[in-house]
């Protein structure tokens, strides 16, 4: 992509801030409609929170968003349009559960808890799924108990409604897996609304018929790369963090490290936490400004350990592991489709990610491999390759997967999430109306924002 120096302002009808999936989808739709558009990206790459890495063996692994699943129709269509190759996530075999340091295995959706614990977990899941259905997807604030739910945390609800240690541990793990945050950090209303947008707790946590069902052979960053190539080098400017957006009666001036643009409309397609770091003239309305201050990103470090073979499959294991102890508490099989070698993908989540963020790669590798060895035995102790991505330390992401809203934020500021501010429109998966926090949500938000701009341009 083109990198240019400072100079006289350039012109475009629309400037898109951020070359992640949402911004690129918006730009693609605008360009297809004949609108002059430029995308300004702070990084030296496109893709945002999708990041595909080539290992020393030449394999592609996803260090960012990795899966799509049922009802994610926009992403499914986009992947097909771009000629990319999907395959199913491996899930055959026994799953590992580490609870209180004791290892057990199970094959069903419900972990192998004690009889009382399993009943308690089943009841907990049923209760959550029932509450999810009470949140209208179009307007979460219209839920009968919206104020009550937004005034408490998932942790407080858990302490009141979940009785056994095992069921509590499994709910904690599910929350960390979906939100990369601790239950104490989440508004109950936000938790339920997020699940509602994706089809419920089971869909978001499962592989089969769930959000982790399908992978991409080329890696999901390739989606953004191909969209960017289709837009052309003149439309995507890298190394261009936007510092200021100034509106006036005639249009907008967008100032970046790579130059200044004059345009009619702007789409800011970065998370609210990053959007709030831009200087706006005039300043943002109070509610939007408060939203950007109260929507931190989740905390996750994603790691991939590669092995000569998927030895766990040969021993009858699926490669999945859940734990309530250790640094890595969630693991999936990350081997290529042909199984020519093995790979395990693990997640440091929530407080564990914050504890490990900024430490050396060697320290993180040791912590990760220790966890993998505990789950799958000594064969996991010596990977032939290891790589990870410290998302909380990533300057232009500040975390992953998405924003985390605590008590009171939705009821006070939900209306500011998508509402344009003059000539400035908002995209990014955080603003999605379905599948918030996922690639599907990013695409939906990009489409919605581009439609707003096309309507405004007439």
Task: Give the global pTM.
Answer: 0.95
- Give mean pLDDT, residues 112-129: 92
Nearest to 202 by CA among 128, 104, 98: 128
Q: Provide the strand spans (E) within 382-450.
A: 385-390, 424-426
8 Å CB contact between 122 and 167: no
Res 280 pLDDT > 90: yes
Mean pLDDT, the chain, integer: 96
> What pLDDT score does 55 carry?
85
Residue 112, pLDDT > 80, answer no
Q: Does 394 have pLDDT greater than 80?
A: yes
Q: What is the pLDDT of residue 1?
A: 43
Mean pLDDT score, 279-299: 98
Reference 275, options 408, 446, 431; nearest CA is 431
Q: pLDDT at residue 241 above 90? A: yes
Between 261 and 6, name the one with better pLDDT.
Answer: 261
Q: What mean pLDDT is predicted for residues 308-318? A: 97
Confidence of residue 6 (pLDDT cuts 50, 70, 90): low
Q: What is the pLDDT of residues 299-309, one digit of tens each?
A: 999 999 999 99
pLDDT of residue 273: 97
Phi, psi dihedrals of residue 254, rounded to the nearest 5°: -110, 120
Q: Among residues 41, 215, 186, 198, which one has the least CA distance to residue 135?
A: 198
- Both tokens assigned to 146: 């919206």
pLDDT band at 5 (very low <50, low <70, confident <90, very high): very low
**105: Cβ contacts below 8 Å, ≥ 6 apart:** 94, 95, 96, 97, 112, 317
């Amino acid at each position: 992509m083109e990198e240019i120096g400072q100079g006289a302002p350039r012109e475009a009808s629309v400037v898109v801030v951020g070359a992640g999936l949402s911004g690129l989808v918006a730009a693609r739709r605008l360009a297809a409609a004949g609108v002059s558009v430029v995308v300004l990206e702070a990084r030296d790459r496109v893709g945002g929170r999708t990041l595909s890495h080539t290992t020393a063996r030449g394999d592609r692994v996803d260090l960012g968003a990795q899966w799509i699943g049922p009802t994610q129709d926009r992403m499914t269509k986009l992947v097909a349009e771009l000629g990319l190759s999907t395959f199913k996530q491996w899930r055959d075999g026994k799953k590992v559960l580490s609870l209180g340091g004791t290892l057990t295995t199970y094959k069903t959706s419900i972990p192998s808890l004690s009889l009382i614990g399993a009943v308690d977990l089943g009841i907990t899941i049923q209760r959550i799924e029932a509450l999810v259905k009470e949140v209208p997807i179009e307007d979460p604030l219209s839920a009968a108990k919206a104020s009550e739910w937004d005034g408490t945390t998932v942790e407080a609800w858990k302490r009141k409604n979940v009785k056994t240690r095992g069921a509590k541990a499994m709910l904690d793990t599910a929350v960390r897996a979906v939100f990369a945050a601790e239950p104490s950090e989440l508004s109950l209303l936000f938790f339920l609304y997020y699940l509602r947008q994706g089809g419920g707790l089971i869909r978001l946590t499962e592989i089969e018929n769930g959000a982790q069902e399908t992978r991409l052979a080329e890696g999901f960053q390739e989606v953004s790369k191909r969209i960017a190539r289709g837009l052309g080098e003149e439309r995507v400017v890298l190394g261009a963090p936007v510092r200021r957006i100034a509106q006036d009666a005639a249009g907008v001036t967008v100032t970046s490290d790579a130059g200044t643009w004059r345009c009619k409309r702007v789409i800011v397609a970065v998370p609210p936490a990053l959007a709030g770091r831009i200087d706006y003239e005039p300043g943002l309305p109070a509610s939007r400004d408060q939203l950007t201050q109260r929507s931190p990103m989740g905390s996750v470090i994603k790691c991939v350990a590669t092995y000569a073979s998927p030895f766990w499959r040969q021993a009858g294991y699926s490669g999945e592991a859940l734990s309530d102890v250790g640094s890595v508490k969630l693991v999936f099989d990350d081997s290529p489709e042909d199984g020519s070698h093995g790979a395990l993908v693990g997640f440091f989540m929530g407080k564990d990610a914050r504890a490990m963020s900024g430490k050396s790669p060697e320290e993180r590798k040791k912590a990760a491999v220790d966890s993998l060895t505990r789950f799958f035995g000594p064969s996991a102790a010596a990977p032939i390759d290891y790589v990870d991505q410290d998302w909380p330390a990533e300057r232009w992401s500040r975390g992953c997967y998405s924003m985390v809203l605590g008590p009171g934020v939705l009821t006070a500021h939900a209306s500011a999430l998508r509402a344009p501010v003059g000539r400035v429109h908002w995209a990014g998966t955080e603003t999605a109306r379905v599948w918030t926090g996922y690639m599907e949500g990013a695409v939906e938000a990009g489409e919605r924002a581009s439609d707003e701009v096309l309507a405004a341009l007439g």
